[in-house]
Amino acid sequence: MTATVLAPTATTTEERATGSRTLRIAAGAALVAGPILWAAGMWTSPPAVGTTDVDYITSLGRDGTITQVSALFLHYGNLLIGLGVLAAASLVRGPKGSRLTVLGAILTALGFTNVSGMLLSDWWNLSLAQHVPIDQAARVFAGFKDSSLLPLWNGFEMASLLGTILLLVGLARAGVLAWWNPAIFVAGFAGLIFVPWDLPKLSALAVLVGFSPFAMIGLRLFQRAGVRFGIGRR
């Protein structure tokens, strides 16, 4: 028996191109919207009067609506970045920077999607603040954090830092992004760490600056998909 190899038809090629374009547009939109939602989540984050578990849970229980709005913004911000970033590797043409980009995209996706799931704890702590004495709520939260296998989940949060640095360096090596993008991300991430905990709006600004490289990747995906915004044109 002789095997017959069918050449791809024009229709098949066109369908593949349409699917690839659609995915790039969706990923680009996710990477532009993700940092905005992240910043909105930090902007609306309930301020605490201290750094203890009691202070934290008390702040979440002060206004249940704001707490949930902030958690939703942060959840979807993380989720959109984690999913959209997987398309970044499609921007690389040739071997230069490709390995760093692929590895960075995978680690970034795992890190950000893990963080999106961790936002569920805001609803737990909100319910604790509303239904049990605050000292008891703090003990329950402390017991949750002491779970022996929890680091296998929340410990992967650092993958979002390492992965994003590798991703941006890979894209810079490939000529997709400018070299200042990794520095901008590191500066913004440092801002999140060192900005005082009682200044959530300043943290939101740090997010907008530090996560702007994700939006740049999103714009590159739009360009590669042939999207034209017509700014300044008639």
**Is the pLDDT at 8 greater than 70, yes or no?**
no
Give the pLDDT score at 3.
Answer: 55
Q: In angstroms, what CA-CA distances link 97 with 175, 176, 183?
A: 9, 10, 17
Give the pLDDT score at 226.
Answer: 84
DSSP 119-153: THHHHHHHHHHHHS-HHHHHHHHHHHHT-TTTHHH
Query: How far is 74 from 37, CA to CA, in rounded Å?
Result: 6
Q: Are 87 and 27 in contact (CB under 8 A)?
A: yes
Burial of 156 (0-12, 13-18, 19+ CB in 10 A): middle
Give the pLDDT score at 170.
Answer: 97
- Percent of the chain at pLDDT > 90 equals 65
**Is the pLDDT at 18 greater than 80, yes or no?**
no
**Is the pLDDT at 156 greater than 60, yes or no?**
yes
Over residues 71-97, mean pLDDT: 95
At 107, list the tokens.
């680690």
Other Cβ atoms less than 10 A from the Cβ of 33: the count is 18
Query: How far is 187 from 189, CA to CA, in rounded Å?
Result: 5
Give the pLDDT score at 6.
Answer: 53
**Is the pLDDT at 233 greater than 50, yes or no?**
no
Residue 233, classed as helix, strand or coil, is: coil
Over residues 124-138, mean pLDDT: 92
- pTM, rounded to two decimals: 0.86
Residue pLDDT, tens place only, 167-179:
999 999 999 999 9
